[in-house]
Amino acid sequence: MEWFDALVQGVLLGGMYAQYALGMALMFGVMRIVNISHGDLVILLSLIGISIATAWGLGPLPVLIVLVPLAVLMGWVLQKAVLNRVVGSDPLPSLIATFGLSIALQNLMLQIWSANSRSLPGHGIESQSIEIGGIYV
């Protein structure tokens, strides 16, 4: 059954990559903007969420309520401050601008949070695998 566990994990990981690719493709297809910093913004929000959860002792759902408006605000600021200035028929300026933002965000996160791994406290949400007929999901 190990092959089935690997298959399930592969499908879940592939689904996550598909969501990321869909976001990138939708952004490029509709707005003609290449946002390389897309993933870095997600990681930044994750690290902010973990910091809020550990500092205030909150669970995942209250942290999510704080992070969603923050994500909207970050996207709006990125659009107004960076992307509106470089948007045009050529996608290269937006690629270069967001690549620079990506490098800056990575170094900022490294300085603030270091490279150590972290996890969000569950606070009652089950985070263990469930066994169904000898298969762990």
CA angle 14/20/114 to nearest 5° reads 100
Query: Which string of b and e fits 89-110 if b means at least 16 CB within 10 Å?
Result: eeeeebbebbeebbeebeeebe
**pLDDT at residue 136 greater than cutoff 90:** no
Whole-prediction pTM: 0.76
Distance CA 2, CA 86 (A): 49
Distance CA 60, CA 117 (A): 17
Instruction: Tell me if 53 is assigned to some domain.
Output: yes
Instruction: Tell me if 62 is assigned to some domain.
Output: yes
Instruction: Tell me if 17 is assigned to some domain.
Output: no
State the residue range of the domain holding 104.
37-116
Instruction: Tell me if 61 is assigned to some domain.
Output: yes
Instruction: Tell me if 14 is assigned to some domain.
Output: no
pLDDT at 77: 94
Instruction: Tell me if 68 is assigned to some domain.
Output: yes
Bridge partners for 135 per DSSP: 132
If one counts the domains in the chain, the total is 1
pLDDT at 1: 66
Return the structure tokens found at 125.
Answer: 């949400």
pLDDT at 97: 92
Proportion of the chain above pLDDT 70, given as a percent: 96
